[in-house]
Structure 1
Amino acid sequence: MHQELNVSCDLFLDLAWLPRPPAEFKDMCRRLAGSASGAEIQHLASFALDANQAARLARVIRALQGQNRLLSPLTPVKLGILANGTIDLAINALAVAAARHGILLECVTADYGMFIQEALDPASRMNAARCDVVLLALDYRAFPFARSPGNAAAAAANIEEAISLLNRIRDGISASGAICILQTLAPPVEALFGSLDRSLPGTPRHFIDGFNRRLLAGLEGTTDILLDVAAIAETVGLANWHSPSHWNLAKLPFADGCVPFYADHVARLLAAMRGKARRCLVLDLDNTLWGGVVGDDSLHGIMLAEGDAVGEAYRSVQCLALALRERGIVLAVSSKNTDEVARRVFREHPEMLIREEQIAVFQANWDDKATNIKAIAGALSLGLESMVLLDDNPAERGLVRQILPQVAVPELPDDPALFARTLAAAGYFEATIFSDEDRRRAAYYEGNAHRVELQERAGDIDSYLASLEMEITFRPFDRTGRSRIAQLINKSNQFNLTTRRYTEAEVAAIENDPSCTTLQVRLADRFGDNGMISVVICRTLPEATWEIDTWLMSCRVLGRRAEQMVLREILRQACEAGIRTLVGIYRPTDRNAMVRDHYAKLGFTQVAAEEGSTSRWMLDTATEIGSAPMRINRALPADLHT
């Protein structure tokens, strides 16, 4: 039993879902120095590195940053860190974890013990750095908790004092324009009254529970992000998290063995904030969703029954997959199997939890997994960087990692009982917000796969588009759509003309800015609602001109001429406002090459090419634009209906 506990803890602390680094890792780092691409850095960061290896790779990253090189596809983020303990030992791990999740991290830290002064002084190094995000890495020792066992009034006042201190720090940082990441507190291991501590006011456990509840309540309606350190510590065990000797020796807020796991959680949040969380789970079948090989063992010979230890292990994978689908993650299948044999399990096996209609794309054939995953990504209009493959076969995992390094492929242990736990531990599907739109995302992509099938049968494109029975809805920004608008602005990379990023608070300001005209666009068809598919911000300039500050669209509606309908609506509103000229801007990135000719295709004339290949395009608002076969619905802001 003791060994089983160690294995379970090692899964998290060793980042066991990551493959082990190759023997030549040191030489690989040396070869990267001075000439690496972001993709090569991300590849090396995808291994489970020890402290020395992480330090080596972090030095390579910092050296390349010092050359001011663009390291695509990594997205730059400047992270400030304010801590009451010593956080410097985590910087290397943070840089590597961030690269693993697609982020090029620059860290700004404060001197030890200066976290309050750095936050409150507008001229401090932290505030002057204009960080994108500031992590308030504060543990329970940062707050003035004074034991008062049994004194409820004193305990409540003490919690409010601690929250007030946190809010002062938070307000000081927010004034610089940075988003704050706020941590819940992990309680100390040592108890005063045993089990009574949680319910008795004035004890450490009661203080921290109350503080965490107040912290969560205070996040509502803000753009700040939660890092649930209490849950992270509970996952590995409080006794493993808190190290008295490490605190006494170096004021480390948690044991050094927990640093990689903590850093990975921070990096997941940063990636989710920048739209880099994964969206599709691709499932192998034999010995991944069920025990055995259905082609050999037959429909009723596979292990999937409740009450059977092996069968229940595989059912737990299915339970997790369905739970992910309910929160909007798309499910797909890639299996080396005969299609009809594989589908029979989903259709007929009485113990099968996942049904065929819950799989957006079903690829059961004898092609290699990499080919199938590319086909799945194409059918869903998703990038390969959105995909996660769950496969028990190490040879298949290695093949996909080699051919499609953008795809996340977790290592799996020998025991299938740990498959689901390993997938969940990897944090591929981290979220910072959750909306109704997110909940329905799986249905959107499932509908999109059906549309692809229809297009293949329909023949000519006009007949196909007419058969979709589309309806497009235009509405200005409003409070109801605000969080989804901000989410799209921050995660859309491919069909995004300028890739400007705005926080939810900035979206609210734009919403109320009379110099801005905004559109949130939805598209529905016979297969269902596609949700919000486009966001547009136009800014009024002198001489009766609108500049398109932001224009992005969901790639899942490409080929349906929705961009023409959006432009027709922009021109219609521009003419009503007395605008004569529309100016479009294209700012190239490593991800948005697909829209390089967007304005040219819509009839704009290029008027300037600026530094960095940014181009400006102009269109007379009296221009006639072709339409698509869809009904148009123009709606008031949802706020006016409530």
Structure 2
Amino acid sequence: MLHEGRRKAAQAFEPIHPIIQGVFLTSPSGPSANLYWLPSIDDWSVRIAEIERSEVGEAAWNALVALAGVKLDFVRVGRLDKALMRLFGDGPPVNLATRPIRLAVLASSTTAQLASALRVAGLRRGLWITLYEPDYGQYRQELANPASGLYGFAPTAILFALDAGHLVGDVDPALNPESAEAVVHQRCDLLQSLWRSARAAFGAQIIQQTVLPVFPPLLGSNEQNLPGSRAAIAAEMNARLRAIVGAEGVGLLAIDAWATQLGLDAWHDPVLWHRAKQEITPRAAPLYGDLVARLLAAGQGRASKALVLDLDNTLWGGVIGDDGLQGIVVGQGDPLGEAFAAFQTYAAGLERRGILLAACSKNDESNALSPFEHHPDMVLRRSRFSAFVANWDDKASNLKEIARQLNIGLDSLVFVDDNPFERNLVRRELPMVSVPELPEDPALFARCLADAGYFEGLTITAEDRGRTALYETNREREASRTKATDLNGYLASLEMALSWRTFDRVGLARTVQLINKTNQFNLTTRRYTEDEVAAVMTDPSAFGLQFRLTDRFGDNGIIAVIIGRVDGAGLCFLDTWLMSCRVLGRRVEEATLAVVVEQAIAHGATELVGCFRRTAQNGMVADHYDRLGFTPLPGQPGDTERLYRRDVAETAHDFPITIRSE
């Protein structure tokens, strides 16, 4: 509902709208302005167009929810909201887990540009938000009048979004310190009276926006020495608000802190302020909406409860199963190691305030536990984790198990993994789990998780601080596996391509490195020198293969090395088969076998003979040849070393991977 004055202010925005859309809206000045922790999708335009053509129904609703969960700018938010209102203006077609929210935005400036972002942010967090705005500048009158539209709306949440000019603009820079302090207290007392009136009238959740620091300093870096300046008063008001909101049960919308982090220009445009009285620039609307939705979700107990962490290259640099305890990177004295330690420190802080920690790693459990128990520079220790799952199952299934162990819903989990394959697998199989899109540099992991706001809280209790201890006695419960997730559809959608070539001089150094470094997915852990690998290249009875895997997320690099030797009896002995653990669960082994069979036949072989030599670290591949259709040779004592055979003429497995030679 817009008063005529507000309509005119909004119309002043129209003549420069193309400029804003082309420059301001599509060029965020800070990394957080465009919700960078959410994933991007390439076919957004196609998908929104399909929704716009769709009919009312649950399928359209689910499609809208999915698009709300990706990175959006102001223009896309508006288009998504338009489709949402056309299809579901009267309410969602499904029963949501949360109560509907009637949000009144009590503002002193134009906030129409924020409405779409508020609704879409609610959609992203499972909230159905209906909005009400009083006529322009009438928030006090409506709050005081039981016959007003505000009372008819009966809000369940109220956002006081009062602009800096309205709160601070008329102060006298010549005020002495005592008078300046009196002004701060008087204006914060006024806000307190508004909160109390609103709560008495509606019993609503109250959110107070901080004062955006829009005023240029008059003195410079030492503005505090001019206590009557608008910049100084605004800063003191924000400090005072932080001191009083807790006792009042009010949630703080700390846009001043975000302006400090991103820069004021990401939030406020003086041109738009003077032309349309918009204190918050449309460019910041997606983030603004998300910040409000976080507080509303926290008010309904909908904040996430557990942080689930991958281990290799997430909590430390390197792969513990391959690099060993001495080879992983974490701790002081190394920039990368310090970055991982800093992220662990942040995770430890979350645990201390009541967030449950869980580990979800593709690893042998003994390898996964080793750094927590023995590495001197680890900040996190095993005792910090309320659940610890390390095996070779897919991570979607393991997240179900973690939720079961913790006795919380999957929608309470935040899953952090450096691997885009694992992130997108979980998003596809478990869309209710929050999965931030991590930056590549671990120095930015903590900031990303904090910016995403999954653990937004309003208060902290003694129970919160002791929550991990409540799970301590349950940590050793026997795991009860849930039904494994069906991965076939997801794997097919990856558009995987396995490229192979024989050993060559270009890749010689990398091949030798992989042979001598890989421990976990390594059937024999047979080591080769560079000269020995070069000898395979010139041996007519042998072949050496190197494999690279690409998919729609990018290039996984060299992921496998295989060496085969063919004797005069037509037996092809596979004395080396190793693969990178980062491609496990994608059926790459079967595609690789198809290439091995082809090369064995080309070298005159009729049978393949594979060898598994057990070590302390390669237990994950003990059944490798069984799964590929090989048969154990009879009469083999013990299980330290076993041989398996397979006829090259046997039918190959089907797999969702394109194979090509380089």
TM-score greater than 0.5 by the shorter chain:
yes
**More displaced, 45-54 or 146-155?**
146-155
After the TM superposition, which of the residue ranges 275-284 and 302-311 deviates more from structure 2?
A: 302-311
Contact 1:148–1:154 (Cα < 8 Å) also in 2? no
- Give 2:357's match in structure 1, choosing from 324, 331, 334: 331
Q: Which moved more, 1:369-378 or 1:204-213?
A: 204-213
Deviation at 1:207, TM superposition (A): 1.1
CA distance in 1, matches of 2:217, 2:467: 45
Whether 1:219 and 2:245 are equivalent positions in the alignment is yes
- Alignment partner of 1:82 is 2:102: no
1:36 corresponds to 2:54:
no
Letter in 1 for 2:317: G
Are 2:86 and 1:60 aligned?
A: no
Aligned Cα root-mean-square deviation (Å) = 2.3
TM-score normalised by L of structure 2: 0.65
Sequence identity (%):
40
Q: Distance in 2 between matches of 1:80 and 1:107?
A: 6
Q: Give the equivalent residue in structure 1 for 2:164.
A: 140
Which of 291, 310, 314 in structure 2 is aligned with 1:288? 314
In the alignment, what sits opposite 1:596?
A: none
The secondary structure found in structure 2 opposite 1:176 is helix
Match of 2:149 among 102, 125, 137: 125
* Equivalent pair of 2:109/2:278 in contact (CA under 8 Å): yes
Number of matched pairs: 450
- What is the CA distance between 1:419 and its match in structure 2? 1.4
- Which of residues 5, 18, 40 in structure 2 aligns to 1:20? 40
2:298 to 269, 272, 294: 272
Contact map agreement 2:329 2:336 (CA 8 A) in 1? yes
Could you tell me the TM-score, scaled by structure 1's length? 0.67
Letter in 2 for 1:364: A
Structure 1 gaps of 5+ residues are 1-5, 457-642
Q: 1:71 aligns with which of 76, 94, 97?
A: 94
Deviations, residues 375-417 of structure 1 (Å, cap 9, x unaligned): 1011111100000110000011010000000100110122221
Return the index of the structure with the highest Cα Rg. Answer: 2
* Residue in structure 2 matching 1:163, options 161, 170, 188: 188
Partner of 1:354: 380
In the other structure, the counterpart of 1:586 is none
In structure 2, list runs of 5 or more residues that go unmatched.
Answer: 1-25, 482-662
Secondary structure in 2 matching 1:181? strand
**Tell me, what secondary structure is at the counterpart of 1:424?**
helix
Q: Structure 2 counterpart of 1:58, which letter?
A: D
Q: Distance in 1 between matches of 2:111 and 2:229?
A: 27
Aligned partner of 1:311 in structure 2 is 337
Separation in 1, partners of 2:272, 2:97: 33
Aligned-partner Cα distance in 1 for 2:149–2:27: 43
Secondary structure of the 2:379 match is coil
The answer to whether the Cα contact below 8 Å between 2:209 and 2:253 also exists between their aligned partners in 1 is: yes
Q: What is the 5 A alignment of 1:134-213?
A: 134-143=158-167, 145-177=170-202, 178-213=204-239
Secondary structure class of the residue paired with 2:77: helix
Question: 1:365: Cα distance to partner?
Answer: 0.9
Q: Closer, same or farther in 2 for the Cα pair 1:231/1:410, shift >3 Å?
A: same
**Higher deviation after alignment, 198-207 or 387-396:** 198-207
Offset, 1:164: 3.8
8 Å Cα contact 2:318/2:329 also seen in 1: yes
> For the structure 1 residues 68 and 291, does the alpha-carbon distance in structure 2 shift closer, same or farther, using more than 3 Å as the test?
closer
For 1:113, what is the secondary structure of its paired residue? coil
Give the Cα separation in 1 of the matches to 2:228 and 2:92: 53
* Deviations 1:90-137, CA, capped at 9 Å, x for gaps: 111111111111111111112222222222222221232100001001
Answer whether contact 1:33 1:63 (CA < 8 A) is retained.
Answer: no
Contact 2:73-2:283 at 8 Å conserved across structures: no
Q: Is the 8 A contact 1:140 1:208 kept in 2?
A: yes
* C-alpha contact (below 8 Å) 1:187/1:204 kept by paired residues: no
Query: Match for residue 471 of structure 2?
Result: 445
Deviation at 1:257, TM superposition (A): 1.7
Mapped to 2, the partners of 1:423 and 1:98 lie a distance apart of 19
Using the TM superposition, give the Cα deviation of residue 70 of structure 1 relative to its aligned residue in structure 2, in angstroms. 4.7
CA drift of 1:203 comes to 1.3
Write the distance in 2 (CA, Å) between the matches of 1:239 and 1:66.
34
Please point out which of 436, 455, 465 is paired with 1:429. 455
2:634 alignment counterpart: none
| Alpha-carbon distance between aligned partners in 1 of 2:474 and 2:296, rounded to the nearest angstrom | 29
The aligned residue for residue 140 of structure 2 is 116
Given that residues 189 and 239 in structure 1 are in contact (C-alpha distance below 8 angstroms), is that contact kept between their aligned partners in structure 2?
no
Shift of 1:49: 1.7
